């Protein structure tokens, strides 16, 4: 277990920003913190990094109690903050070099690591340029280069794709996968559902400072899902046939409207084949079939009562 938060609380005045958060993150994971702005994701990250004191609870990183002043812990962590942490009066290479020195790198090793970080983020040809001329996506990539120059065991990425173009977003997501394959454990916060679903091995859904649920994508979907809906466009179908479909074990409801047949089935009942056989035997022609399954968006809506972007 690389990171463990137990009963962590953080209050700002009357606002309980983090409410009794319990999390365990295993080595080698890409762990997603999913939630809307204001859910408590960044505060949780700040607590992990020692940038905010907890009002209650304990934090363990690399098996050591983390209190924000443990340099032995900090030197193995890289942070990609939501607000850009780069200096526009330094070149791209000088930015990465500066952060490398903060982590104790020097000499030929520092030079080598700077070159590797810039190459990894696709900025080698921009090494001598100043970031004030960079696009938003390039600045985000430089932010990542500064965070990984010391090759940390744990990388924390707080909304790393905010406000950038799709091409840069895809580049960053691929970078996250590559860093993970190279051995880094990654904590990734986002309010973009599709990003978390695409790259994270496990996910915690946060809202109003609380962890509402945690698990793999499949486990989270299983929390709220007991049904699946099959929608078919069919010809030559009668209400008598609809009633026959309702009698198939595993079919919970069946309705016909404007040539579209909607069949609600028990999740995992595997009755699609029997439904198709029944329709075919009755002479119905099937023009299309769509299986609607539970999404992370519907999980979030069920747990919080609102959509992720609200």
The residue from 162, 196, 222 where one domain ends is 222
Is 232 found in the same domain as 210?
Answer: no
Residue 307 included in any domain: no
| pLDDT at res. 162 | 86
| pLDDT at res. 41 | 92
The boundaries of the domain holding residue 196 are 3-222
**72 φψ region: left (φ > 0), alpha (ψ -120 to 50), beta (else):** alpha
Residue 165 included in any domain: yes
CA distances from residue 300 to 159, 187, 244, 295 in whole angstroms, order as listed: 18, 19, 35, 9
Residue 194 included in any domain: yes
| pLDDT at res. 50 | 86
Is 235 found in the same domain as 203?
Answer: no
Is 200 found in the same domain as 72?
Answer: yes
70: pLDDT strictly greater than 80: no
Residue 276 included in any domain: yes
User: First-to-last CA distance in the chain?
Assistant: 34
Q: CATH number of the domain that 233 lies in? A: 3.30.70.100
Residue 299 included in any domain: no
Is 135 found in the same domain as 10?
Answer: yes
Mean pLDDT of the chain: 90
Is 122 found in the same domain as 154?
Answer: yes
Is 90 found in the same domain as 17?
Answer: yes
More confident residue, 144 or 71: 144
> Average pLDDT for residues 50-63, to the nearest whole number?
91
Provide the whole-model pTM.
Answer: 0.81
pLDDT digits (tens, 9 = 90+) for 286-304: 899 988 777 787 787 777 7
Number of domains in the chain: 2
67: pLDDT strictly greater than 80: no
Is 239 found in the same domain as 99?
Answer: no
Contact 58, 12 (CB under 8 A): no
Is 260 found in the same domain as 184?
Answer: no
The residue from 222, 250, 268 where one domain ends is 222
Q: At 113, is the secondary structure helix, strand, or coil?
A: helix
pLDDT digits (tens, 9 = 90+) for 138-191: 999 999 999 999 999 999 999 999 888 888 889 899 999 999 999 999 999 988
Is 107 found in the same domain as 61?
Answer: yes
More confident residue, 48 or 97: 97
Q: Which strands make up the sheet holding 260-266, listed edge to edge?
A: 251-257, 260-266, 227-235, 285-292
| pLDDT at res. 68 | 61
More confident residue, 224 or 256: 256
**Among 186, 144, 184, residue whose Cα is nearest residue 161:** 144
Is 182 found in the same domain as 33?
Answer: yes
The residue from 168, 196, 222 where one domain ends is 222
């Amino acid at each position: 277990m690389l990171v463990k938060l137990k009963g962590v609380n953080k209050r700002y005045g009357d606002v309980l920003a983090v409410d009794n958060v319990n999390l365990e993150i295993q080595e080698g994971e890409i762990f997603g913190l999913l939630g809307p702005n204001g859910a408590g994701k960044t505060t949780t990250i700040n607590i992990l990094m020692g940038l905010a004191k907890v009002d209650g609870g304990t934090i363990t990183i690399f098996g050591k109690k983390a209190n924000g002043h443990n340099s032995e812990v900090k030197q193995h962590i890289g942070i990609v903050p939501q607000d850009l942490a780069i200096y526009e009066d330094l070149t791209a290479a000088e930015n990465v070099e500066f952060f490398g020195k903060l982590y104790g790198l020097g000499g030929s090793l520092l030079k080598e690591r700077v070159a590797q970080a810039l190459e990894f983020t696709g900025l080698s040809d921009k090494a001598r340029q100043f970031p004030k001329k960079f696009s938003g996506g390039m600045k985000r990539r430089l932010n990542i280069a500064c965070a990984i120059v010391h090759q940390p065991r744990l990388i924390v990425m707080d909304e790393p794709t905010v406000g950038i173009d799709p091409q840069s977003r895809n580049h960053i997501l691929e970078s996250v996968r590559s860093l993970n394959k190279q051995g880094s454990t990654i904590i990734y916060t986002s309010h973009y559902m599709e990003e978390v679903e695409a790259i994270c091995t496990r996910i915690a859904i946060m809202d109003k400072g609380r962890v509402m649920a945690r698990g793999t994508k499949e486990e989270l979907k299983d929390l709220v899902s007991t049904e699946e809906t099959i929608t078919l466009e069919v010809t030559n179908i009668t209400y008598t046939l609809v009633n026959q479909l309702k009698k198939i074990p595993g079919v919970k409801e069946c309705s016909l409207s404007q040539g579209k047949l909607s069949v609600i089935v028990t999740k995992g009942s595997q009755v699609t084949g029997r439904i198709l056989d029944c329709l075919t035997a009755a002479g119905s022609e099937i023009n299309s079939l769509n299986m609607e399954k539970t999404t992370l968006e519907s999980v979030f809506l069920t747990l919080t009562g609102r959509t992720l972007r609200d």
